[in-house]
Amino acid sequence: MTVDDTITLTCWLLDTRPLWPGDRRDNISKAAPDALALLPPEERKSCTGMHFLRNGKEKLGSALLKRYFVSKTLGIPWNEVRYARKDDPKHGKPGALLLDGSFANVDFNSSHQAEVIALVGTGLNCGLNVGVDIVCPNERHSPEDIDREGGFDKFVDGYDSVFSDAERRVLKSPRQFPKAMRDRDLTRKHTLDDDHLYKACSDAGQMVGEVMSTDEKLRRFFALWGYTEAYLKMEGIGLLADWIRQLEFFNVRAPTPARRTQDVPQDDVGEKVDDALVFFEGRHLKDVRLGIQAYGEEYMMAVAARPAGTKTISTDGGRLAKGTCPDINWSFEVVTLDAILEHAKSNQE
């Protein structure tokens, strides 16, 4: 495979909101006994250990979706799917095992939020690592709550341990700059002081770009959060990475929500955005591919991909040389529970 090749990723969504109805404190074992029976005991225990139905649905949906991906991608029976953690047996990124117990040369990652599960995976031997994060901006933070509790700038500053000064400055900007402006060299860390940013984005002294509502700024905030999480999950680490504030994303734009209509009365996938850029210690990481897509009016799924074996920080603490990454072809599609169950029942050993 050459770096000129385009690699297609598997990008799936499983929406459990209409599935397995019950009272909020019901155990998932009461709501979904048939689906649970398709999982091995250790995975069933993880699902039934949740105290609220929505959390049990997320656990069960995630377990089913991952098993569906591994079984289809590796061509192995549903009940023969096994996992182990790579690198670190306790904290490493989960990987799929072949029937002989060795790691399959395939990478995948999943995320869940507000009862929707997202999964991104590679094909066999494509040589990429991937990460995904799904966000739902208004689940815990409504624009009204933010305005009432001190405003958006105060909300953003509450995340100073995660986002750099430059990232927070952009998040606080009242404007979403036009694409022509985003294409300029406004993304580099050393240009992102207030005076330079506002002068570069002005026309005869008048600011250009649309003034953003708190709701729109909140979507941009969570787009940045999603990119950060997806990148770190691609790396196989979490938000506790001690170099997280040296990792910066610019050109961040939230995709347009996918509004429901008479023709499309249910949530569906919407706009994709793939022009964000990532920097580490001020250096543009050109070997990383990024994208984010809307689902319905509330959800967004961020995706990150990078050549396998390349890390932000090497095992001895040094910076690794930058590499190259092929283009990726990706777009989320909604997977139905019926499709998963049919595959599971027809692909047993």
- The CATH number that applies at residue 77 is 3.90.470.20
pLDDT tens digit string along 184-214? 444 444 344 444 444 444 444 445 566 788 8
For residue 124, tell me if it sits in a domain. yes
Is 203 within a domain?
no
For the chain, the domain total comes to 1
Whether residue 183 is contained in a domain is answered as: no
pLDDT tens sequence across 76-95:
999 999 999 988 777 789 99
Q: Which of 13-27, 239-253, 260-274 ranks highest by mean pLDDT? A: 13-27
In a domain, 24, yes or no: yes
How does pLDDT run across 228-243, given as a tens digit for each residue? 999 999 999 877 788 9
Residue 180: inside a domain, yes or no? no
Residue tagged 């001020």 (tokens)? 282
Judge whether 86 lies within some domain: yes
Measuring CA to CA, which residue among 76, 142, 139, 149 is closest to residue 106?
Answer: 76
pLDDT, tens digit, 9 for 90 and up, residues 96-133: 999 999 999 999 999 999 999 999 999 999 999 999 99
Closest CA to 121 of 158, 81, 160: 81
**Residue 146 contacts residue 172 (beta carbons within 8 Å):** no
Domain annotation covers residue 59: yes
pTM, 2 dp: 0.89
Range of the domain at 293: 6-174+212-346
